Amino acid sequence: MGLLKIKRAMKKFITLTSLFLLLGIGVCSTVSAKPKNHNRRSHEQVSFIPLHQKGGFAIMVDKQQPGKSMVIIYDQDKNVVFKDCLTKGTRAEKKYILSNLNNGDYTVEVYSKVHDIKTPFYVYDTGQKKIVHML
């Protein structure tokens, strides 16, 4: 009787192992739902990096094609507070220290050829220093 139990256990083990192996192969070989289009231009990447100690942020733009990128900061009434040409090339990084702004709600927009990014941020005073907080 002991030999029969061992044979059943081995059979069950082999069956489960092959099932997991087939499932693993199936998961690894699935095709993405999005078809790849190699003729399409690659997307730009815009990154906002908080500068907590200095009260501001850095903006990094990495793009495939050279072109002008603009950074515009608006206050809560949609008035332009600051405007800057970030780059005319393919890659740029620039720091913006905003601790001199009045307390309030602001929006930063990065305009470029391929797409525009709009991000709100807040400036407030803690008593000891100004804080710039991005969402």
Top mean-pLDDT range of 16-30, 89-103, 121-135: 89-103
Name the 3-class secondary structure at 18: helix
Q: Say if CB 63 and CB 90 are below 8 A apart.
A: yes
pLDDT digits (tens, 9 = 90+) for 6-57: 878 778 878 877 766 655 665 554 444 444 444 444 556 788 888 877 888 8
Do the domain assignments include residue 35? no
CATH number, domain of 118, equals 2.60.40.3080
Do the domain assignments include residue 34? no
Same-domain check for residues 78 and 126: yes
Same-domain check for residues 25 and 60: no
Do the domain assignments include residue 54? yes
**pLDDT at residue 135 above 90?**
no
Say what the pTM is: 0.61
pLDDT digits (tens, 9 = 90+) for 64-90: 777 788 899 999 999 999 898 877 777
Count, residues in the chain: 135
Provide the residue range defining the domain that includes 17.
1-29
Which residue type sits at 9? A
Number of domains in the chain: 2
